[in-house]
Each structure stands twice: as structure tokens, then as C-alpha cells.
Structure 1
Amino acid sequence: MSGGRALSVYAVDRRPLAIGAYRRLWTASAICAVGGSFSVVAIPAQLFTVTGSSAAVGASAGVSLVALVVAALWTGAITDVRDRRSVLLAAHCGLASTYAALWIQAVLGGRSVLVLMTLVACQGLAFGAIMTAMGAAVPRLVPAELLPAAYSLSSLVRYAGSVLGPVLAGVLIPVVGLGTLYLFDAVALSAIVWAVVTLPPLPPHPGSPNDPVPDHPRRSVIDQVMAGFRYLAASRLLVAVLAVDLAAMVFSMPTALFPELARHTYGGPAGGGPELGLLYAAYPTGVVMVGLLSGTFTRAGRHGALMASAAAAWGVTVVVLGLAARLWIAVAALVLGGAVNCVLSAFRNAISQALTDDAMRGRIQGSLTVVLIGGPQIGNLLHGAAASIFGPRMVICAGGLLTTVTVAVIARVVPELWHYSARRDSL
């Protein structure tokens, strides 16, 4: 009996699922993580089929990134002066409509690159709005002490979906065609639309003393975004959290170098093969594995120390990746890296949302969304440029080392990050 209880402590921390609203939202997110992610494969596949150009596929990623960043900052301002349930509902309905439009254009032949790029931009706008509004809504549903567990559960379904969704899409494309995958995505979104409809109203708290723009829902969005940046800059601890995350995302996300590693270091075939697939699958596998054991860390009080330690450990795993002469060592390093990044992600979100006044949570979450999505893209650009001069393995090692050193410096300069305790300091 005692052994069973001990094991339950270390297994998935399911305490947030006892909250009905969060449980419905999480369950719907789990459905969408797999059944709503087919477009991740379908859109690039359709673009390449139509154009025969990888450049077009790359351009679509750029279009999506720009749209997502704009939406994240804009939605962050809107969610702080509007009902967050309404913002979430509008964003998910927008995404479902985009998938329906993708299905229709595929049924009609799907040969227009302009139409596809426009719908890719719409998808990016919806994704940016959803990520920001969801991040701001969860702290209103879940008490501060359960935020690490809630964010760990979210990471678990997101990364499990990133592994299972594309695999299932690859199996289904020859059977049902690209167009049907878009329809599957649209139908899957209905689950989360239902979950959002059942949420309680989440209006802004009136008269919050910490809101730099209180009771001004008509104030320009740009003014509200700038107020969010000023709020962020005024908190050393929030700046430190963002800096640690940025260091981890920019310096130590070498996914752009995986094809070169797979081909020239691990002997994979030209154009990709099992070696490349293993490199890409290893990181999300590590996230899922630790997500299934989230009880090992979500009950801890030293959130700051755990976040900084996880970021530094991520840098170390990247150094090991750069030094690895054998594929199995590289895969093991990436699995371990995904594991520590799951911890980093859970506490980054928990600290930032617990420290932030509710009137500003949308804008702070918008900034975090930009870092989460934009950081790896900047990292890919830097890694790709540097690797052409110094070689991939040296660049990967340098990035991992730079991450660990940067995190250590931040923890030294901002000691309140290292000493931050949720039990003492959270709202």
C-alpha cells in the first residue's frame, strides 16, 4: 500500500484535473494535440506538391512566424481588458474556420500558392492568439501552487501530439488524401471549442492596483503592449526568467543542424533517413517521459532554483550532443535535454504567471509566446550561419556552453531568481 502511494507521488501529477473547467480544457487539448495537428504535415506536403520547391515551404514557415508574433502581442493586450473565455473562443473558432477553408481549397484542386499562404497566415494568427490567451486563462482556473503541474500536463499532451500527430498524418495521407486531413483538424477543434464554451466567464479584474492602464479597454493596442513591456522591465525577476528562457531557446536549439549531423556525422542517407528521424523524435520523447513522471518535481517549492538548474542542465546536454560521435549518444543527450526542458518550461510559466498581476497576464504571456516561438527560429538562423564557418559540432558545443554560462551569470546577478520560492512569494 505504501509502495503504491509512493509510486503515485512520482507519476503524472494529476491534481489540476480535479478542477472541472481545467479538466475539460485539458481533455479537449489532448484530442487536438493529435487529431488537430495534421495540418503540420499537410500544409508543407501540399506546398511542395504544388511548387516542387522547399523554398516555398520555408517561406510558409516565415509567414506563419510573423503572423504568430503579431497575434501574440496583440492578443496579450486584448486579453487583459476583455473576457478571456471570449478571446479563447474567437481564436479557436478562427482556427477551425481556417482548417475548414484549407479543406475546401484542397477539394477544389488546391493549386493556388497565394491562397495557401494566406491561410497559413490565418493559422499563425490563430495559433498566436490561442497560446497567449490560454496562458493567461489557466492561472484563473488553477491555484498558484498547482500551476507547475498544470503546465506539465499541457506540455505532456503537446509533445505527445507532436510525435503521434505527424506519424498518423503520414500514414493517412496515402489513404484519405491531404484534404481530408484538414477536415479532421477542423472536426477535432470542435472538442476544444466545446470545452471553452463550458468555461466560467473570465472578465478582467476591475480596478487592479498594479495595472498600468486600468479601466481603459479602448486605449490603443500599441499603448497597452508598450505598457506590458514597461511592466516587464520593472521586474528584475521577470526579466531574469525571460532571459534564462531566451538563452536556452536561442543558444541551444540546434534543430537546423540535424540534417547535416544525420548525414555527415552519423552516416545517414542523403535526403533523410532513420538517423534524422531519431534526432527529431528524441527531444519530444524526453518531454513526454518526464511529463509522465511530473510528480517528481511539481510539488517542489524552489521554483527559481529548479528552473535555472534545468536551463543549465539543458546547456550541458547540448554540449554532449555536439561531442557525440555515435548516434545513440546523441539521441540519449536529446532525450535527456527534452526531460530537463519539460522542467524548465513548467517552472518558467509558473513563476511568470504567479509573479504577474492578473491585469497584465495577457501581455506577459504574449512576450513569453514570442520567446517560445521566435527564440528557436532565431537560434536556427544563428546556428545555420555559424555552422557554415565553424562546422556543426563546434557550433552546437559552443551554444550549449554559452547557455550554461549565461544562466549562471543571470542567477548570480539576480539572486532572487535562484531563491524564489512559490510557497513564500507566489500570489
Structure 2
Amino acid sequence: MSQVAEKKPKSWMIDTRPLRVVAYRRMWIGNGASFFGFQFTAVAVPVEMYAITDSTTWVGLIGVAALVPLLIFGLWGGAVADVVDRRRLLLASSVITWTSTLGLLVQAVAGLHSPHLLLALTAVQSAGFAISSPARNAIIPRIVPGDLVPAANTLNYTTTTAGGVLGPLAAGLIMGIWSTEAGVEVAYAVDALLFTMTFWATWRLPAIPPIEREEGDEKPSAGLRGIAVGLKFLVTQPVLLLSFAIDLIAMIFAMPRALFPAVAENQFGGGSAVGWLYSAIAIGSLLGGLTSGWISRVRRQGLALVVAVVGWGVAIGFSGLATHLWLMVLLLAVAGAADLVSAVYRQSIMQTFAPDRLRGRLQGVFTVVVAGGPRLGDLRAGATADVTGVTGSWAGGGFVAAGLAVALAAVSPALIRYRPASESSEDR
């Protein structure tokens, strides 16, 4: 694998060198296919729920049903990933996710029309994802050279972003061709079919057991004690703690998506405007990923993370002040590109800084932060808008996030000084 890392391309196009690693290439294909397929379910579940209940409250409960298991099992799944063979854990958790998807398909075909069953299956599916996510991300530094970890993460984020853009469009096309009932069934079937590629990719992985403990290391535990050890390590490492804190700042203060419906209706007369607003950040992330060949060449990853978060906040701030839809979408796309950069470096810093024996647990915390931050941002944006107005909440939140990111980096400079150690995956 070291030969893969020797040639560092100078192109600005996305760095594809990690795809030369067979194990990573299989994971990338499987994960990309399953994430694209999941978008069909993400559209079908709320469509089916609304068709059954004719209630937006029930549709809103879907988010709660998904979030709670994600918060609980994300931490537990991270602890388990440090104790068992990560390949086996990924296979087992994938079975949970796939079974719940089949359950959604079966209940739709059978015409059960039960909102409670939909919520239960959504919760099980979310639990399966939460358990698998820390293991899936903790595997990457074990199968690619250390200096290719940022490139590997960029490929992952770009692929999932593309799925996030194209998946809902394809699902919407299905809903338009068939009736609601038939469209929901087809959507679940597509998701279940594409998810089989994840099984194939995971099955072909090599065994990835825990690395032998060094003298003085704690005995690994998948329970509360193991989670506590991971959290203790996190709070004693300023680089990791700051990387998590700056992400929470970005998401809580500068995530404007809860305001998109109001802005689309009041400023742009509704219609397709809301679709453009919801897709703009993802489009920017996708374009940022496709032109990200420079990312793996940056050594000052901590500084780059801070700059990206500041760029996200500033772009969000100015987008909130825009009065033309095209300008608002453009600025949101710029913010999306900055978000991709910050996500890649945040993930890469965590993967390469943390020792392998704790990597799963920290990935679990990462999963919770990534899941909870934007939802807290939705709450903040909506509540603030009731007091300051939509523009104040949107633009003000973006500029506040940028300012807080600068202040945090200035007060605690460990993050901006961070450079990754030169090491290969075999050394860990």
C-alpha cells in the first residue's frame, strides 16, 4: 500500500489514489450504492406516513424515531468497534439495517397502514446505521496509507453528497410515475436491492481485529466503562475536542435549513425555490469534492479546518442577506463546498490522531455530533427567527459562527497548530 501513497498528483481534480487499494475500492462502491438506495427510503417513509395519517405531526415524529437510536447506539457501536473484529461488526449491523428495510417493503406490500410500525422500523434501521457507522469509518485508516486518509474521506463524502442530490430526485421520479402506494413499494425495493452491495463489499474485506494492546492500556470494554474511557480521552486532547467543538459551532449557529420554507414562500413566492434552497448546499459540496485534489496535499489540517468553518459561516451569513434566489443559491453552494472541506479534515484528524484502540469510540461520538448538531441548528434557527426575524436568524447565525470559530482558534491554538504525523496504515 505504501506505493499507492508515493505519487502525489498536483491536479485540482478529486484525488482517486485510494481507489487503487482493493479493499477500500470495494467499500467505496458498496457504501455509495447503499447510501444512494437509502435516499429512496428517506423519501418513501415520510410520503407513506403522510398518506396514512394525513398529519405533519406524524411525519415529524419520524425524525425523533431516527435520532434517539442514533444517539444511543452511535456511542455503544463505537465502543463495540474497539473490542471486536470490525468487519464482523459491520456485517452484523448491516443485517439489522437490511432486515428493517425489508420490513418496510413487506408492510407496504401487505398494506398494513400502521404509523406505529413505520416508526418502529425507522428506529431499528437507524440503530443498525448507528452501530455500523463508527466501525465503517474506523476501518479506513486500517486499509489505506495514512497520508491517503483525507483523500479517502473526500471520496466518501463526495459520493454520499452525490447520492444525497441524485437519490431524492430519482425517488421523486418514481413517485411521479407510479401511484403513491406503488411508488413507495418500488422505492423500498430499490433500497433493499442496492443495499446488497454493502454485504458484498463488507464480506470481501479482510479481518480487522483489535490491535494488540500495549502495556498499560486499559482492557477494552463495550459497556459504559468503555464509552467513558473514550470520552475521557477526548476531553484530554485539545486537538480532538476543538475539532468537535468547532463543528458544533458551525452547525448550531449557521445551519439555516429550518428557514428555507419560510424564505422560499415569503421572498420568492414558493414553487421550485424551496427545492433550490434545500439542494444548494449539497450541490456545492459535490462540486467541492470533484475539485478537491489539493486536500490531501495540505499539511496544516487544523488551520484548514478552521478556515473552512469560517468560510462556511461567512457564506451562510451573506446568503441570508441575499435578495435574489440565484445569489442565495450560489452563496449556499459556496458554503456547501466549505462544509465538505471541514468535514474531510475533521474526520481525517480524528482518524489519524486517535489511537486505533479508541478510534471506534471516538467515531461513535463523531456520529452523535454529526447527527445532533444540525438538528440543534434547526431548533436554534427556528426559535431565533421568532425573535429576530428570518434574516436576523439566518445571516446573524452565520456571522456569529464565523466569529466564534475565530475566537475559539485564537484562545486555544492547539487546533491551528496541528499537523498529522507521517505514518502508514500498517504502523497502526
- Establish whether TM, by shorter chain, passes 0.5: yes
Counterpart AA for 1:202: I
| Alignment partner of 1:144 is 2:142 | no
Distance 1:260 1:223 in 2: 45
Give the aligned partner of residue 190 of structure 1.
196
Give the aligned partner of residue 237 of structure 1.
239
Distance 1:267 1:328 in 2: 14
Aligned structure 1 segments of 4 or more residues deviating by more than 6 angstroms: 5-8
Q: How much has 1:35 moved relative to structure 2?
A: 2.8
Change (3 A) 1:329 1:98: same
| Residues 99-138 of structure 1 aligned to structure 2 (within 5 Å) | 99-138=101-140
TM-score under structure 1 length normalisation: 0.94
Change (3 A) 1:25 1:210: farther
| Residues 30-41 of structure 1 aligned to structure 2 (within 5 Å) | 30-41=32-43
Counterpart AA for 1:300: V
Change (3 A) 1:285 1:220: closer
Q: What per-residue deviation string (whole Å, max 9, x for no partner) do you get for residues 214-271 of structure 1?
A: 2x4xx46111111111010111111111111111111111100000111112222xxx
Q: How much has 1:39 moved relative to structure 2?
A: 0.2
Give the aligned partner of residue 413 of structure 1.
411
Distance 1:210 1:408 in 2: 38
Give the aligned partner of residue 3 of structure 2.
none
The number of equivalent residue pairs is 415
Task: Please give the secondary structure, in 2, of the residue aligned with 1:10.
Answer: coil
Distance 2:369 2:422 in 1: 27
| Residues 6-155 of structure 1 aligned to structure 2 (within 5 Å) | 9-155=11-157
Q: How much has 1:332 moved relative to structure 2?
A: 0.7
Give the aligned partner of residue 399 of structure 1.
397
Q: How much has 1:6 moved relative to structure 2?
A: 11
Give the aligned partner of residue 306 of structure 2.
308
Distance 1:326 1:295 in 2: 32
Q: How much has 1:149 moved relative to structure 2?
A: 0.5
Give the aligned partner of residue 420 of structure 2.
422
Distance 2:215 2:333 in 1: 44
| Alignment partner of 1:248 is 2:250 | yes
TM-score under structure 2 length normalisation: 0.94
| Alignment partner of 1:325 is 2:323 | yes
Q: What per-residue deviation string (whole Å, max 9, x for no partner) do you get for residues 79-136 of structure 1?
A: 0001101111111111111111111101110311111111010111012122221111
Distance 1:205 1:414 in 2: 32
CA RMSD of aligned residues (A): 1.8
Give the aligned partner of residue 267 of structure 1.
269
Give the aligned partner of residue 171 of structure 2.
169
Aligned 8 A contact 1:144 1:350 in 2: no
Q: How much has 1:304 moved relative to structure 2?
A: 0.8
**For structure 1, which segment, 259-268 or 343-352, has the greater mean C-alpha deviation from structure 2 after superposition?**
259-268
Counterpart AA for 1:339: A
Q: What per-residue deviation string (whole Å, max 9, x for no partner) do you get for residues 47-83 of structure 1?
A: 0000000110111111101111111101000000011
Q: What per-residue deviation string (whole Å, max 9, x for no partner) do you get for residues 326-360 of structure 1?
A: 11111011100000111101100111111101000
Select the residue among 275, 278, 294 that pairs with 1:277.
275
Q: How much has 1:388 moved relative to structure 2?
A: 1.2
Q: How much has 1:7 moved relative to structure 2?
A: 9.1
Q: How much has 1:389 moved relative to structure 2?
A: 1.5
Q: How much has 1:141 moved relative to structure 2?
A: 1.1
Aligned 8 A contact 2:80 2:222 in 1: no
Aligned 8 A contact 1:205 1:358 in 2: yes
Task: Please give the secondary structure, in 1, of the residue aligned with 2:260.
Answer: helix
| Alignment partner of 1:178 is 2:166 | no
Distance 2:331 2:216 in 1: 43
Change (3 A) 1:240 1:416: same
Identity %: 36
Q: How much has 1:140 moved relative to structure 2?
A: 1.0
Give the aligned partner of residue 380 of structure 1.
378
Give the aligned partner of residue 211 of structure 2.
205
Distance 1:285 1:208 in 2: 45
Aligned 8 A contact 1:256 1:380 in 2: yes
Counterpart AA for 2:265: R
Task: Please give the secondary structure, in 1, of the residue aligned with 2:293.
Answer: helix
Aligned 8 A contact 1:284 1:338 in 2: yes
Distance 2:38 2:259 in 1: 28
Q: How much has 1:177 moved relative to structure 2?
A: 2.2
Distance 1:220 1:307 in 2: 31
Counterpart AA for 1:391: G
For structure 2, list consecutive stretches of 5 or more residues without a partner in the other structure: 1-6
Distance 1:165 1:210 in 2: 48
Change (3 A) 1:295 1:28: same
Q: How much has 1:311 moved relative to structure 2?
A: 0.4
Aligned 8 A contact 1:301 1:423 in 2: no
Q: How much has 1:377 moved relative to structure 2?
A: 0.3
Aligned 8 A contact 1:285 1:338 in 2: yes
Task: Please give the secondary structure, in 1, of the residue aligned with 2:226.
Answer: helix
Change (3 A) 1:403 1:421: same
Distance 2:273 2:370 in 1: 26
Task: Please give the secondary structure, in 2, of the residue aligned with 1:110.
Answer: coil
Distance 1:253 1:208 in 2: 42
Counterpart AA for 2:396: A
Aligned 8 A contact 1:210 1:359 in 2: no
